[in-house]
Amino acid sequence: MSQTPTPLTYRDAGVDIDAGNEVVERIKPLVRRTMRPEVLGGVGLFGGLFDLAGRYQEPVLVSGTDGVGTKLILAKQLNRHDTIGQDLVAMCVNDVLVQGAEPLFFLDYFATGKLDVDTTVNVVAGIAKGCEIAGCALIGGETAEMPDMYPPGEYDLAGFTVGAVEKSKLIDSSKVRVGDVLIGIASSGPHSNGYSLVRKILQRAGNPLDLDVGGAKLADALMEPTRIYVKPVLELLAKHDIHAMAHVTGGALVEKIIRVVPREFGLEIDTSAWPLPAVFDWLQREGNVPRAEMWRTFNCGIGFVLMAAPGAVAAIEASLDGRGLAHWRIGEVTPAHGDDRLHIR
């Protein structure tokens, strides 16, 4: 007579519902701090609710999604999980900002093989902080525990945001003209791009994470969270005529800025217009990275770019000074010469 099999539970299969519930309870106060008056229903519903009534006459919704790439591996190596969530928010909200949209709400997706409550809460705390900085509500999310999908201790992140802008104020690059000035706003570091190359360089250099680089430890410089440009740029848009904007992420200066310029125009970018931050100088030297590869992989100190008519530049720069944001005139819009539209010198 065969024995009755031992009863199995979801926990036996590797999924701990109680741990998931603990995460939810611990993040509730973090999420509440991001709430806006337009959010209906609060935390825990099946869908997040956001009321647009009365805010816009002709609203255009602008959506964005992103992750933080292999910076997650460095976060695990350093056991620093409290800022990677801000990176996630920044990569999404800065993207929708390019078209003039105010980020309204954010959702996250956290996936892991085995749920570690403290790590998960730290990650979500960073997401909540990023949402507070951007002024958007953390309206929902998903924490997925998937045994055998991820190695022990590994997790992945994705983020999703929705913003809105009045149709009449949409930044669509239609105002761009020859002679427009490019104003580059400083990044806080490598942000969340190029970390596969960063980790390769670190490995070659022997992982000198305590090395002093420009007055900061290399580990701190590399883990500095992505700057969120939302509030200062929205203030600029309310006061100044900005023709186009770009968020400098993957593809960096070579691919991201030219993307927002109509095809009849080109760009001239002068890389001597701003100082190369120490962390990028170290990466270039240690990795013997070719100059062209640097401009294609890293933001090299410029995280966000504004384009405006020459006569508007001084006032825009004064506003940036008032917000304490370092900035430089890094180039101008030129006529296009066939497919040769971008000159970096």
For 101-118, write each residue's pLDDT tens digit. 999 999 999 999 998 999
What pLDDT was estimated at residue 225? 96
**Mean confidence (pLDDT) of the chain:** 91
Instruction: Tell me the per-residue pLDDT of 225-275, one tens digit each, with 9 for 90 and over.
Output: 999 999 999 999 999 999 999 999 877 777 888 888 989 999 999 999 999
Enumerate domains of the chain plus CATH numbers: 17-169 (3.30.1330.10), 181-344 (3.90.650.10)
Q: Round to whole Å and give the CA distance between 168 and 155.
A: 41
- % pLDDT > 70, the chain: 97
Could you give the CA distance from residue 281 to residue 283 in angstroms, rounded to a whole number? 6
- Averaged pLDDT, 71-76: 95
The β-bridge partners of 49 are 40
Which tens digits make up the pLDDT trace of 118-164? 999 999 999 999 999 999 999 988 999 999 898 888 999 999 999 99
Q: pLDDT by residue (tens digit) across 59-70?
A: 999 999 999 999
**Is 80 exceeded by the pLDDT of residue 52?**
yes
Average pLDDT over residues 328-340: 89
Long-range contacts of 309-316 (CB under 8 A, 24+ apart): 309/177, 309/179, 309/180, 309/181, 309/241, 309/243, 310/179, 310/180, 310/181, 312/240, 312/241, 312/242, 313/181, 313/183, 315/239, 315/240, 316/183, 316/236, 316/240, 316/242
Neighbours of 77 (CB within 10 A): 13
Write a three-state SS string for the chain.
Answer: CCCCCCCCCCCCCCCCHHHHHHHHHHHHHHHHCCCCCCEECCCCCCCCEECCCCCCCCEEEEEEEECCCCHHHHHHHHCCCCCHHHHHHHHHHHHHHCCCCEEEEEEEEEEECCCCHHHHHHHHHHHHHHHHHHCCEEEEEEEEECCCCCCCCCEEEEEEEEEEEEHHHCCCCCCCCCCCEEEEEECCCCCCCCHHHHHHHHHHHCCCCCCEECCEEHHHHHHCCCCCCHHHHHHHHHHCCCCEEEECCCCHHHHCCHHHCCCCEEEEECHHHCCCCHHHHHHHHHHCCCHHHHHHHCCCCEEEEEEECHHHHHHHHHHHHHCCCCEEEEEEEEECECCECEEEC
